[in-house]
Amino acid sequence: MNRYLVPVSVLGTAVGGAVLLRDYVAGGACPSKATLQGKTVIITGANTGIGRETALELARRGGNVILACRDMEKCEAAAREIRGETLNHRVNARHLDLASLKSVREFAKKITEEEEKVHVLINNAAVMRCPHWTTEDGFEMQLGVNHLGHFLLTNLLLDKLKASAPSRIINLSSLAHVAGHIDFDDLNWEKRKYNTKAAYCQSKLAIVLFTRELSRRLQGTGVTVNALHPGVARTELGRHTGMHSSAFSSFTLGPIFWLLVKSPQLAAQTSTYLAVAEDLEGVSGKYFDGLREKAPAPEAEDDEVARRLWAESARLVGLKVS
């Protein structure tokens, strides 16, 4: 036997072990087998990446799944594919552009009028480290889409969620929130030189703070809300970062990325877990990293900052401050 050849059995064992190690590092599969028969779920940004995989998983569990996306061609295609894969015909596409408060209001109005119940709202859509763009309403794009759009959407659907209780709201944040800071003097980067990374971190911190304050306001309603870090996943979200554009990152860092970066399917397990797990009934205002509850950054636990951000967010999107 050639000493440079590795037996297939040994190679298979090594590859299998590496896959298990990668999955352990990235976090495991949702342990709950709960179904969603008769439950309505809304997932923003569900035509690709983590959102699509979450929609696929919840459709497999029997849910009435609404994919809320900006690009309707891609959204319709994803809904069609998910219906085909799961044989669940209750998977539908709806238009929602989180960079437009008008679109958010139109979507919420349609849901309120057409859906009898909404049991799960998963605020999944995001933009990451894009150029200095602004939304239709003049907000810095990352704050506008990642936080303000979802802030308005959630508030507009609260009555429906309360009427459907027990119900759940799930907000996708990121570990990047630990590097964030809420600059109340310049939330929309109108005074400072734009820093796309800092803007992204601020938007993700805003999501955790929003979750904390919303949980306080929802006490006793039967509606829970939690935030999560899904892990770093191989999705279109990082298209503006240039992470895989150089030969160095592809060749040298490739093995590290393979070990630490999740597939969209694996990254969707946390959203799935928070949506269905029976042991999370009544759990609210928490931050999850993978399948484990963890303490967020200190600023994310500052109740005064959370209340102030709520008031400012409400003012910016045109909601009555309460």
Q: Which of 107, 153, 145 is nearest to 129 (CA)?
A: 145
32-316 topology per CATH: Rossmann fold (3.40.50)
Tens digit of each residue's pLDDT (9 = 90 or more) over 116-141: 999 999 999 999 999 999 999 999 99
200 part of the active site: yes
Tens digit of each residue's pLDDT (9 = 90 or more) over 267-313: 999 999 999 999 999 999 999 999 999 999 999 999 999 999 999 99
Model confidence pTM above 0.85: yes
User: Considering the chain, what percentage of its residues have pLDDT values greater than 90?
Assistant: 80
Residue 252: pLDDT over 90? no
Categorize the per-residue pLDDT at 24 as very low, low, confident or very high, splitting at 50, 70 and 90.
very low
Take residue 173 and report the two structure tokens written for it.
Answer: 């944040």
C-alpha 103: how far from its chain's center? 19
Tens digit of each residue's pLDDT (9 = 90 or more) over 208-232: 999 999 999 999 999 999 999 998 6
Residue 148: pLDDT over 60? yes
Those residues with Cβ within 8 angstroms of residue 181's Cβ, 6 or more apart along the chain or in another chain: 198, 201, 202, 205, 299
Those residues with Cβ within 8 angstroms of residue 80's Cβ, 6 or more apart along the chain or in another chain: none
Q: Which of left, alpha, beta for 275 (phi over 0: left; psi -120 to 50: alpha)?
A: alpha
Beta strands in 72-150 (DSSP E): 91-95, 120-123
User: Considering the chain, what percentage of its residues have pLDDT values greater than 70?
Assistant: 82
More confident residue, 51 or 11: 51
- Active site residue: 24, 194, 200, 287, which one? 200
Domain spans of the chain?
A: 32-316
pLDDT at residue 259, rounded to an integer: 52
Residue 213 CA to residue 95 CA, distance in Å, equals 28
